[in-house]
Amino acid sequence: MNAPTDNIRVRLGQKVRQLREARGWSQEDLAARAFLHRNQIGYIEQGQRNISIETIARLAAAFDVPPGELFR
Amino acid sequence: MNAPTDNIRVRLGQKVRQLREARGWSQEDLAARAFLHRNQIGYIEQGQRNISIETIARLAAAFDVPPGELFR
């Protein structure tokens, strides 16, 4: 994988974990709020999923932040 | 599809078109710079693709903007 793509999974995963922990939520809590499976949250946070923009939209809605926030 | 997800495809497509046209690029130009197929650019701009974060990273690298910019 070329440089721009392989970092984005890891950075996004770190941001999801940061946003989740800042709210004191478990992975189960976030999964329920984002209509995702708990295991998916674990994989996403470990940078192991090339998630889609619709999953981005679900996570952003669960965190109540704009989608772009997940890339900051 | 629930509300937060179906809009993100359309908004992202509009943003890609806006960034592309601002640079005077054709869809072929953008496809070549982002290592994507020309047809994909057309579908993305029409809001018809649930693209992945790696495709987001490629488009952002081609436009030389941070990935979050594609969601503004």
Alpha helical stretches, state H, chain B:
3-22, 27-34, 38-45, 53-63
Q: How open is the CA angle A13-B52-A29, to the nearest 5 degrees? A: 40
**pLDDT, tens digit (0-9, with 9 covering 90-100), for B48-58:** 999 999 999 99
Average pLDDT over residues B16-34: 98
Q: Which of B30, B22, B25, B24 has the alpha carbon at shortest distance from B60?
A: B30
CA dist., res. B63 & res. B72, Å (int): 14
Burial of B42 (0-12, 13-18, 19+ CB in 10 A): middle
Which chain A residues touch B58 with a CB distance below 8 Å?
Answer: 4-5
A&B contacts, CB < 8 Å: 68
| Chain B residue with the nearest C-alpha to that of A68 | B68
Residue A67 vs residues B18, B23, B42, B56: alpha-carbon distances, Å = 18, 24, 22, 12
Is a pLDDT exceeding 50 seen at residue B1? no
Is a pLDDT exceeding 70 seen at residue B31? yes
The answer to whether B9 faces chain A, any CB pair under 8 Å, is: yes
| Chain A residue with the nearest C-alpha to that of B64 | A4
Where do the domains of chain A lie, and which CATH numbers do they carry?
3-64 (1.10.260.40)
**pLDDT, tens digit (0-9, with 9 covering 90-100), for A2-35:** 455 669 999 999 999 999 999 999 999 999 999 9
pLDDT the model gives residue A1? 44
In this structure, chain B runs to a length of 72
